Amino acid sequence: MQSSQTMKIYQVVMMVLGWFALAAQLYINATSKITPIPEMIIRYFSYFTIQTNLLVVICFTFLLISPHSAAGRFFSRQQTQAAITVYILIVGLIYNAILRFLWAPQGLQKTVDELLHSIIPILALIYWLAFAKKNQLQWKSVLPWLIYPFAYISYVLIRGAISGFYPYPFINTAQLGLNKVLVNSVGIATVFTFVSLALVYIGKLLNKQV
């Protein structure tokens, strides 16, 4: 009973932090007036960080509010929770290893930045370790998890070629060239695969199934 209550509290915290961070980032983008509102909205949702944090917060919202709905059952699946954990961990890893040093946000932007790239990824990993079931995870689960990042890269490259906007410098073909971007993409795919395999291994280890 205590564990269930703790899990619910954790879900509330994740839901509140996630929606706040996403709404605050949207507000910051809208008030910056760098681009017209329609383009701003497209760019906002073109960031892997935003998409993945949105996926995390939707997951926790359904787990908390409607766990028995079709969406709630989907987000309760072990493979779904593990995949989402992989995605948000990649957000934290790539940002803190590469992108953090490219700018120095201040004020509300700094708070939102830390929430989206550090705090929420860490909390998501802790939740997965502490509360998510793991006894059904299999090595073959990893391959389907790569569909989302592959689709994301494809979308960014196609839209970037049309609009000239690339959300991240390491996939900017206008500056780096297509060959370099493809090399970077393979590197990112390798990181995705490694983190995915690591989570499956940890899941099996925790269930003594290795």
Residue 56 contacts residue 11 (beta carbons within 8 Å): no
φ/ψ (deg, to 5) at 77:
-65, 140
Residue 158 has pLDDT above 90, yes or no: yes
| Neighbouring C-beta atoms of residue 187, cutoff 10 Å | 11
pLDDT at 139: 94
Our measurement of the distance from residue 7's CA atom to the centroid of its chain's CA atoms, rounded to an integer in Å, reads 21
> How close are the terminal C-alpha atoms of the chain, in Å?
29
Cα 42 from Cα 32, distance rounded (Å): 15
Residue 133 has pLDDT above 70, yes or no: yes
pLDDT at 3: 76
Give the model's confidence band at 2: pLDDT under 50 very low, under 70 low, under 90 confident, else very high.
Answer: low
pLDDT at 33: 85
Residue 210 has pLDDT above 70, yes or no: no
Per residue in 44-84, pLDDT tens?
999 999 999 999 999 999 999 999 999 999 999 999 999 99
pLDDT at 175: 94
Six-digit token pair at 116?
């989206």
Per residue in 106-123, pLDDT tens?
999 999 999 999 999 999
Read off the pLDDT of each residue in 169-180 and give the average, rounded to a whole number.
Answer: 95
pLDDT at 11: 95
Per residue in 80-106, pLDDT tens?
999 999 999 999 999 999 999 998 999
Q: CA-based angle 12:83:40, to the nearest 5?
A: 70
Residue 209 has pLDDT above 80, yes or no: no
Residue type, 51: Q
Read off the pLDDT of each residue in 132-150 and give the average, rounded to a whole number.
Answer: 94
Residue 1 has pLDDT above 80, yes or no: no
pLDDT at 87: 98
Mean pLDDT of the chain: 94
Read off the pLDDT of each residue in 13-35 and give the average, rounded to a whole number.
Answer: 95
Residue the block writes with tokens 């780096």: 176
Alpha-carbon torsion, ordered 99, 104, 106, 110, to 10 deg? 20
pLDDT at 207: 83
